């Protein structure tokens, strides 16, 4: 086939086709401009239609996100309820234990026995209230967790439907994972024992009462001895020593009170008195009776001086005292048990009737030669004769001692009172020491039971894993068939429709650090308004303590120990050096150092996460789970229909749930905390 130029007819046809769009001078024809405008407008409206479809298609993901967040919000609300109840149970238990601890401390303090009994009774009532609250909270939280899946479905489905607009409808809901409760509330059923602490408090109270009684006896004995030595305004050892022996100044001191006095003062005074009397007493007289009287006095003073010099008094650094004051004889029978009776201290002479004992060789009856000495025991045994002139005998010795002991103006009378008081004092102090030792041992046991109760309380936390604890997975479906708006595009495009679509999303709870110091517990405490409901007495202070513990039971839990320790530190009458002070410090230290894990009161807020993360935690496959959820959901239906389709409990089967009843210690009052599930269902 040869080549060549276009034939004339063909050239004319080609030029005729181009000429529709191009003029001979090279410009565009009107037809060309019209076609270009038509194509441009078609492209613009096609892009607008595509943009509308794309934006509406993307909205299903936002709805799924909102649905997942709405479901997680329900779990967040439940977490707040559980946190508040946990804080109530723990703080109420701690308030009861601390009140019992205060009872233990008061049991050791003299004069606080009645207060101790009231504190222990108040502590028991508070622990009973804690037990009732814990058990009602366990029942209520179980019931609430059973309803939680349906509430999550209802709340999320309501959110899905609320997002429909402009004729575009959405169906779907959020599913909690796990779908059922895995919480363990068994720890709330554990009762914090108080019987051992009550027994310890009773034992300490009894021992403290014994110690206080013994202390009072010792105090009375000390005061009586002080009066007999130097405290009496009339006759006393000091006055007699001054009058009879001429003692004055430092040798015969005055003490203004029993607290500044001790038995050593009386012992030293007696030593100085008998030394002075012995030094001044001679054997004189013109008759045998006078000689015998002076000789008996001198012998008695010598014996008494030796005895009081053998006596002792000492006080150790720890305050314990050793008192050994000798009793002096004041009858003839008592004289027979002394050295005055057995010592051969009396002169004898050889008389016509035989060997005769005299009070002194100056006796008018001593006419014969001196023939040694004999004892009064020898006289009574008949080994020597009694002198008829001086009549020296054990009877005369007993008379001398009796005269000064049995009458108020005798020094020996007051010394005997001091000695008897010292015996009572020593016995009472020994009993006080035994009772304080018993109280200390009981306090040790009590502090041990207190520590056990604290340790027991520290582990009483429910293990919370409610429905939705792993997260909430939302599945939202958009129905198809919605026409693309065609008011402007009808002339350029054929009618179009929005295709069906679906989206999944997941949300979990995360603590919000910004709410670490929130006042939800303070608001809850104010809402209870229990302070005016207490019966008075010890329970008033316990109520205030519970409030401080509850409000402080957040993340900054150092305030818990401060509140409890302050309650113990403010006990009236607990002074240093007592068993009560020791126990108070021990109990306060245990409370402040107790490892009581606080309730984390940071609010839990929903955050979006990968659906795969939630499914992995639940041990599920994402694809299979989503496919099952999509196929399970009906095309149309209510929240109840979704719940039934997913095998969940239907909300409208129940009305009102009592989550817990807060008992008011010491009263029959119960403050119910209720949730109206029917109202929630109607709202959803």
The CA-atom distances, in angstroms, between 290 and each of 58, 283, 340, 360, 409 are: 136, 9, 19, 11, 21
The two structure tokens encoding residue 509: 């709870």
d(CA 69, CA 79): 15
Between residues 639 and 142, the one the model is more confident about: 142
HEC per residue, 569-606: HCCCCCCCCCHHHHHHHHHHHHHHHCCCCCCCCCCEEE
Query: Does residue 177 have a pLDDT over 70?
Result: yes
Contact 238, 411 (CB under 8 A): no
Query: Does residue 225 have a pLDDT over 80?
Result: yes
For residue 280, what pLDDT is reported? 94
For residue 324, what pLDDT is reported? 95
Question: CA angle at residue 95 from 90 to 99, to 5 degrees?
Answer: 150
Least confident among 150-154, 382-386, 444-448, 527-531: 527-531
For residue 499, what pLDDT is reported? 59
pTM of the model: 0.61
Output the average pLDDT for the chain.
75
For residue 360, what pLDDT is reported? 94
The β-bridge relationship of strands 385-386 and 370-374 is: unpaired
Strand partners, 478: 170, 501
For residue 613, what pLDDT is reported? 85
Query: Does residue 555 have a pLDDT over 50?
Result: no
d(CA 403, CA 326): 19
d(CA 82, CA 632): 31
For residue 626, what pLDDT is reported? 62
Query: Does residue 203 have a pLDDT over 60?
Result: yes
Write out the H or E segment, with its range, that includes residue 505: strand 501-511
Residue 576's pLDDT band (boundaries 50, 70, 90)?
very low
Contact 538, 122 (CB under 8 A): yes
d(CA 629, CA 477): 11
Q: What is the mean pLDDT of residues 60-74?
A: 85
Between residues 604 and 194, the one the model is more confident about: 604
For residue 380, what pLDDT is reported? 94
d(CA 218, CA 586): 29
d(CA 487, CA 209): 100
For residue 415, what pLDDT is reported? 95
Percent of the chain with pLDDT over 70: 62
* Alpha helices by DSSP H, 359-488: 376-381, 394-405, 411-458
Q: What is the mean pLDDT of residues 483-499?
A: 53
d(CA 5, CA 611): 72
For residue 273, what pLDDT is reported? 96
Between residues 536 and 162, the one the model is more confident about: 162
Residue 468: left if φ>0, alpha if ψ -120 to 50, beta else—which one? left
Query: Does residue 610 have a pLDDT over 70?
Result: yes
Place of tokens 């009973």: 128
For residue 532, what pLDDT is reported? 42
**Any residues with CB less than 8 A from the CB of 435 and at least 6 apart, and which?**
207, 208, 210, 211, 214
For residue 427, what pLDDT is reported? 94
For residue 557, what pLDDT is reported? 43
CA dihedral over 196, 198, 199, 203, signed as positive or negative: positive
Between residues 219 and 499, the one the model is more confident about: 219
d(CA 444, CA 131): 27
For residue 55, what pLDDT is reported? 54
At 13, give phi and psi (nearest 5°): -70, -40
For 447-470, how does the pLDDT look when each residue is reduced to its tens digit (9 = 90+)? 777 777 766 666 566 778 888 888
Between residues 556 and 253, the one the model is more confident about: 253
For residue 208, what pLDDT is reported? 76
CA atoms within 13 A on the CB side of 316: 5
CA atoms within 13 A on the CB side of 581: 6
Strand partners, 174: 474
Sheet architecture: strand order including 385-386: 370-374, 346-351, 354-357, 385-386
For 402-433, how does the pLDDT look when each residue is reduced to its tens digit (9 = 90+)? 878 888 888 999 999 999 999 999 999 999 88
Query: Does residue 639 have a pLDDT over 80?
Result: no
Residue 90: left if φ>0, alpha if ψ -120 to 50, beta else—which one? alpha
Strand partners, 656: 676
For residue 213, what pLDDT is reported? 87
The CA-atom distances, in angstroms, between 147 and each of 22, 139, 423 are: 78, 13, 77
The 8 Å CB, 24+ separation contacts for 43-50 are: 45/488, 45/489, 45/492, 45/493, 46/489, 46/492, 46/493, 48/488, 48/489, 49/484, 49/485, 49/489, 49/493, 49/496
Query: Does residue 178 have a pLDDT over 50?
Result: yes
Contact 66, 155 (CB under 8 A): no
d(CA 367, CA 360): 12
For residue 17, what pLDDT is reported? 59
Torsion, Cα 103 106 112 113, to 10 degrees, reads: 50
Residue 684's pLDDT band (boundaries 50, 70, 90)?
very low
The CA-atom distances, in angstroms, between 385 and each of 277, 332, 392, 533 are: 30, 18, 10, 94
For residue 297, what pLDDT is reported? 93
For residue 301, what pLDDT is reported? 95
Q: What is the mean pLDDT of residues 545-567?
A: 53
Residues belonging to the chain: 684
**Any residues with CB less than 8 A from the CB of 300 and at least 6 apart, and which?**
340, 397, 400, 401
d(CA 117, CA 103): 7
For residue 525, what pLDDT is reported? 47
For residue 5, what pLDDT is reported? 45
């Amino acid at each position: 086939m040869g080549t060549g130029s276009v034939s004339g007819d063909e050239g004319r046809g080609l030029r005729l086709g181009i000429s529709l769009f191009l003029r001979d001078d090279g410009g565009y024809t009107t037809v060309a401009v019209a076609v270009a405008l038509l194509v441009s407008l078609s492209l613009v409206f096609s892009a607008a239609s595509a943009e509308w479809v794309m934006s509406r298609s993307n909205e299903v993901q936002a709805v799924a996100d909102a649905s997942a967040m709405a479901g997680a919000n329900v779990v967040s609300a439940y977490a707040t309820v559980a946190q508040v109840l946990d804080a109530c149970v723990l703080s109420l238990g701690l308030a009861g234990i601390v009140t019992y601890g205060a009872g233990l401390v008061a049991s050791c303090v003299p004069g606080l026995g009645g207060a101790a009994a009231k504190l222990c009774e108040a502590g028991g009532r508070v622990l009973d209230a804690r037990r009732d609250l814990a058990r009602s909270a366990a029942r209520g939280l179980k019931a609430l967790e059973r309803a939680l899946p349906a509430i999550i479905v209802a709340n999320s489905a309501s959110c899905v439907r609320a997002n429909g607009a402009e004729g575009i409808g959405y169906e779907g809901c959020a599913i909690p994972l796990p779908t059922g409760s895995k919480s363990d509330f068994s720890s709330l059923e554990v009762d914090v024992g108080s019987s051992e602490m009550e027994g310890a408090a009773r034992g300490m109270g009894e021992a403290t009462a014994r110690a206080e009684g013994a202390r009072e006896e010792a105090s009375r004995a000390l005061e009586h001895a002080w009066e007999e030595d130097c405290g009496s305004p009339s006759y006393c050892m000091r006055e007699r020593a001054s009058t009879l022996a001429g003692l004055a100044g430092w040798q015969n001191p005055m003490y203004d009170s029993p607290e500044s006095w001790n038995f050593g003062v009386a012992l030293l005074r007696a030593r100085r008195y008998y030394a002075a009397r012995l030094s001044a007493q001679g054997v004189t007289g013109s008759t045998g009776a006078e000689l015998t009287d002076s000789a008996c006095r001198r012998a008695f003073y010598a014996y008494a001086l030796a005895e009081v010099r053998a006596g002792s008094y000492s006080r150790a650094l720890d305050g314990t005292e050793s008192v050994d004051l000798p009793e002096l004889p004041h009858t003839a029978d008592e004289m027979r048990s002394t050295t005055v009776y057995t010592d051969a201290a009396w002169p004898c002479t050889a008389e016509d009737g035989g060997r005769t004992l005299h009070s002194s060789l100056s006796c008018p009856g001593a006419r014969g030669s001196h023939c040694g000495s004999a004892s009064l025991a020898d006289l009574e045994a008949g080994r020597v004769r009694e002198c008829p002139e001086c009549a020296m005998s054990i009877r005369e010795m007993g008379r001398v001692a009796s005269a000064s002991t049995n009458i108020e103006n005798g020094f020996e009378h007051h010394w005997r009172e001091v000695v008897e008081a010292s015996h009572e004092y020593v016995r009472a102090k020994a009993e006080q020491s035994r009772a304080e030792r018993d109280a200390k041992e009981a306090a040790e046991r009590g502090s041990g039971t207190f520590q056990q109760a604290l340790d027991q309380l520290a582990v009483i936390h429910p293990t919370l894993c409610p429905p939705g604890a792993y997260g909430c997975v939302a599945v939202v479906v958009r129905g198809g068939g919605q026409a693309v708006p065609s008011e402007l595009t009808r002339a350029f495009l054929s009618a179009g429709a929005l295709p069906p679509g679906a989206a999944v999303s997941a949300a979990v709870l995360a603590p919000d650090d910004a709410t670490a110091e929130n006042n939800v517990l303070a608001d809850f405490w104010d809402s209870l308004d229990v302070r005016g409901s207490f019966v008075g007495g010890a329970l008033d202070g316990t109520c205030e303590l519970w409030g401080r513990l509850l409000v402080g039971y957040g993340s900054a839990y150092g305030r818990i120990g401060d509140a409890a320790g302050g309650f113990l530190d403010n006990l009236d009458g607990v002074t240093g050096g007592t068993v009560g002070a020791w126990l108070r410090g021990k109990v306060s230290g245990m409370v402040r150092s107790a490892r009581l894990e606080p309730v984390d009161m940071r609010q839990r807020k929903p955050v979006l996460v990968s659906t795969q993360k939630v499914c992995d935690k639940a041990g599920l496959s994402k694809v299979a789970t989503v496919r099952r959820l999509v196929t399970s959901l009906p095309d149309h239906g209510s929240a109840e229909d979704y719940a039934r389709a997913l095998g969940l409990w239907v909300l409208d089967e129940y009305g009102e749930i009592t989550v817990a009843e807060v008992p008011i210690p010491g009263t029959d009052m119960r403050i119910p905390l209720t949730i109206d599930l029917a109202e929630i269902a109607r709202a959803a």
